[in-house]
């Protein structure tokens, strides 16, 4: 008899957990679907970038917006899934952020062990690729066709910037899984 009531309680608890998990899952996979506006450079008429006021997403995972990392990055359009690809290339000097001050794509997801190649477009003056945690750093160059590579061995999220244009929004992320 006691067995039966225990069973019921277990079932109830499991159902509750499943419901919570379902909600979290839904929230996690929103955003990034409606792109298409890559080329409109006319809209950038905001000279004063407001200081990032983060701290909004309490309780959430925060990974969707990378804790505000992309708040001032106008070419962030979700994480481009390149898992399984052997060769992943990111442009340095993509048209974005009021000039050629973007990484293209700004955020990419790769499998562990993948070598990512950054390739300079030659636009927007000198750029570099510098990891926030210091794990990789390229030279500062302007030359078209210049490349820099880094192999991402373990799972995690690497944020990086172009140092001269970080304040303009030249920032990126590599998600490794
Ligand atoms: Cu730059």
CA 97 to ligand 1 center in whole angstroms: 10
CA 2 to ligand 1 center in whole angstroms: 68
Using CA atoms, how far apart are residues 8 and 138, in angstroms rounded to an integer? 59
CA 23 to ligand 1 center in whole angstroms: 39
Residue 44 banded pLDDT, cuts 50, 70, 90: very low
Name, in order, each residue with C-beta under 8 angstroms of 40's C-beta and a sequence gap of 6 or more.
none
CA 176 to ligand 1 center in whole angstroms: 23
Q: Which residues pair with 148 in a beta bridge?
A: 118
Count CB-CB contacts under 10 A for residue 124: 24
CA 153 to ligand 1 center in whole angstroms: 26
Instruction: Taking the CA atoms of 72, 74, 75 and 78 in sequence, report the sign of the dihedral they define.
Output: positive
Tens-place pLDDT, residues 147-165: 999 999 999 999 999 999 9
Residue 43 banded pLDDT, cuts 50, 70, 90: very low
Residue 39 banded pLDDT, cuts 50, 70, 90: very low
What is the CATH code for 69-176?
2.60.40.420
Using CA atoms, how far apart are residues 150 and 118, in angstroms rounded to an integer? 9
Residue 40 dihedral angles phi and psi, to the nearest 5° = -90, 95
> Is 108:146 a contact under the CB 8 Å cutoff?
no
53: helix, strand or coil: coil
CA 143 to ligand 1 center in whole angstroms: 12
Q: Is the per-residue pLDDT at 71 higher than 70? A: yes
124: helix, strand or coil: coil
Sheet strands side by side (includes 99-104) = 99-104, 87-96, 114-120, 147-152
Segments making up each domain of the chain, as ranges: 69-176
Q: Is the per-residue pLDDT at 31 higher than 90? A: no
Q: Which residues surround ligand 1, an ion (CB under 5 A)?
A: 127, 162, 165, 170
Q: Is the per-residue pLDDT at 54 higher than 70? A: no
CA 128 to ligand 1 center in whole angstroms: 6
CA 101 to ligand 1 center in whole angstroms: 5
Tens-place pLDDT, residues 102-143: 999 999 999 999 999 999 999 999 999 999 999 999 999 999
């Amino acid at each position: 008899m006691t067995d039966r009531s225990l069973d019921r309680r277990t079932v109830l608890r499991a159902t509750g957990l499943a419901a919570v998990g379902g909600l979290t899952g839904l929230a996690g996979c929103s955003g990034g679907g409606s792109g298409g506006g890559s080329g409109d450079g006319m809209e950038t008429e905001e000279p004063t970038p407001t200081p990032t006021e983060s701290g909004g997403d309490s309780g959430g995972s925060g990974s969707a917006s990378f804790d505000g990392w992309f708040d001032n990055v106008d070419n962030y359009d979700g994480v481009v899934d390149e898992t399984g690809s052997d060769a992943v290339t990111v442009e340095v000097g993509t048209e974005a952020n009021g000039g050629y001050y973007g990484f293209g794509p700004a955020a990419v997801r790769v499998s562990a062990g993948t070598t990512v190649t950054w390739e300079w477009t030659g636009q927007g003056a000198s750029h570099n690729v510098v990891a926030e945690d210091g794990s990789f750093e390229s030279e500062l160059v302007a030359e078209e066709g210049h490349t820099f590579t880094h192999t991402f061995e373990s799972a995690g999220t690497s944020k990086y910037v172009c140092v001269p244009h970080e304040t303009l929004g030249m920032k990126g992320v590599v998600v490794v899984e």
